[in-house]
Amino acid sequence: MERHAAMAAHHLFGLVDPRHYEPLSRREITPEYRDALTGLLPDTWSLERGDVWLQARRPAGPGPRTAPSPTQGFKIHVSSAPAHTFRLFELVVPVCVEHDVEFKAAADPVMLGLINSKTQERGFAGKFMTVYPPDEDVFVRLIETLYRRTADEPVEGPYILSDRRYRDSKVLFYRYGGFRPPRRLGVDGTQTTFLVAPDGTYVADERLPCFRLPSWVRDPFEEEPEPGPEQEQEREPGPEPEPDGTLLKDRYLVEGALTFSNAGGVYHGTDRVTGRQVVVKEARRLTNCTAIGGRTVDAVDMLRHEYDVLRRLDGLEFVPRPVDLFPEWEHTFLVEERVTGIAFHDFWARDDVILAPYLRRPGRVEGFVPLFREVAGRLVAMVEAVHARGVVLGDLSPNNVLVDPETRRMWFIDFESSVGEDDDPALLAYGTRWGTPGFLHPRRSSRDRLLPCDDWYAVAMLLYSSVAPTTAFFALNPVAQDLILDELVALGVPDRVRSVVACLAAADVAGAKAVLADWEEG
């Protein structure tokens, strides 16, 4: 499983209940999509809830198709931006009914947002509707009919990475996979679905971030030209690294991937004009959509926003220098200076540094104290410099701070959640909802904009996490924040650590700086 897929699972199972993991099938859905489908389906059809989907079932008994439904075959996927869902229902559902073909659709707008969110596993993301043709002949006729119905309509959706786009459609994709596939239970409790090969053997029904057919299946449209980079069937669109690299804008040589998400990858490479090492961040259109002030913004909008923030902070020695922002094919890329270091939490988790389990080990606290003082002082100075540029970071967490373990130089990275004091009020309000649990000011969600105190609280929790990485639990039990630190102080952590954390949590920056200055002199 991809690292981001694991993050997605953790995130999704916590959405239904803030204190307990629950499957999404337990979330009560809103009525918009159910009502729309009910108005388009004949009375003889039924709608059933299934996890994040609404399943449209044709009537049982005698009819045009009485044979059992197949367990696998070519399926048609319809993708959609949030603004186009109801129009696509009107275009697609009557065709499915006319051909007596069952389908499923996202259960409501929230579920569609989850399906297309940044942390969704790439091989599963992008689908708004799935149509299940009973055989290949129906599949070929049906997808062409849907193409003609939608070709001249102003509808579009995200590219479905696991599929092949049908002709030049912006909403129609297809792949070969299971309809009601056999499953096997693994020793870890997870279930794996399978396809059945012609010889009866089971083959894993993989949902990859690229289009791939089973070895025994031929694509009925393989003779047709494929527009765009998806001509190579077994790679996803965009700059998938190859042995000799991929060149963007005839300038930036992509040499490898740092991480992937459904909204786009993050790559490392070389600027061939300057010879410098760069990071290339990719944004895919119509993914990770959210409503801000009556309009929908997607991953591309947020990448452009991050570029604007980087330019506003340009010149600060702890902020990567922005290099370029450009579109290529249907993606947008941000190029920035590459900085090196390890994540903040990894810095404090090193064997010779980690504190909490080894407080009683001789010399451990004494070695920790100068590191804490230095890092705290640098963080305070860095945030003050950012605020002086009229920017609030918004999402300051251990993942967004890099530290060079040798020089202890630090950098801030990932500024898509940052806001400027003169930004649109809707964006300022949205910023209050975007952050990392455990590093969010307790009163942040009650306000209509981000404030500098939000960053200072995050700095306090960063420093707290250097002592004990327990900040994520404080939302469940706020009293634990003081109890744990008090106990650690009783075990030997200097009281000044508690004082610095307390001052910064209260946005008393002058008080925190005074404690650090006195500590240095002492």
Among 486, 501, 499, smallest CA distance to 456 is for 501
For residue 422, count CB atoms less than 10 angstroms from its CB and return exposed for 0-12, middle for 13-18, buried for 19 or more.
exposed
The single-letter DSSP state of residue 456 is H
In angstroms, the CA 295 to CA 118 distance is 19
Burial of 28 (0-12, 13-18, 19+ CB in 10 A): exposed
Closest by Cα among 206, 15, 19, 170 to 108: 15
pLDDT at 405: 94
Per DSSP, helices labelled H in 41-135 are: 85-98, 109-115
pLDDT at position 440 is 95
- The tens-digit pLDDT sequence of the chain (522 residues) is 333 333 445 567 777 887 788 888 889 999 999 999 999 999 999 999 988 999 999 987 655 555 567 899 999 999 999 999 999 999 999 999 999 999 999 999 999 999 999 988 999 999 999 999 999 999 999 999 999 999 999 999 999 999 999 999 999 999 999 998 888 887 887 788 999 999 999 999 988 999 999 999 999 998 654 554 443 344 445 555 445 679 999 999 999 999 999 999 999 999 999 999 999 999 999 999 998 888 899 999 999 999 999 999 999 999 999 999 999 999 999 999 999 999 999 999 999 999 988 888 899 999 999 999 999 999 999 999 999 999 999 999 999 999 999 999 999 999 999 999 889 888 888 888 888 999 999 999 899 999 999 999 999 999 999 999 999 999 889 999 999 999 999 999 999 999 999 999 999 999 999 999 999 765
CA distance 181 to 196: 8
Burial call 348-369: b when 16+ CB within 10 Å, e when fewer: beeeeeebbeeeeeeebbeebe
Question: Coil, helix or strand for 341?
Answer: coil
Structure tokens that stand for 112 in this block: 């569609």
Q: What is the DSSP letter of 19?
A: S
Rounded-to-integer distance, Cα 241 and Cα 236, Å: 11
Residue 89 and residue 38 in contact, taking contact as beta carbons nearer than 8 Å: no
**At a CB cut-off of 8 Å and minimum separation 6, what does 279 contact?**
258, 266, 267, 268, 320, 335, 336, 337, 338
At position 229, the amino acid (one-letter code) is P
DSSP string, 169-200: -SSEEEEEEESS--EEE-TTS-EEEEEE-TTS
- Amino acid at position 449, single letter: R
Q: Which residues contact 257 (CB under 8 A, 6 or more apart)?
A: 241, 265, 266, 267, 268
pTM for the complete prediction?
Answer: 0.90
Q: Where are the alpha helices (DSSP H) in 120-267?
A: 136-150
CB 344 within 8 Å of CB 398: yes
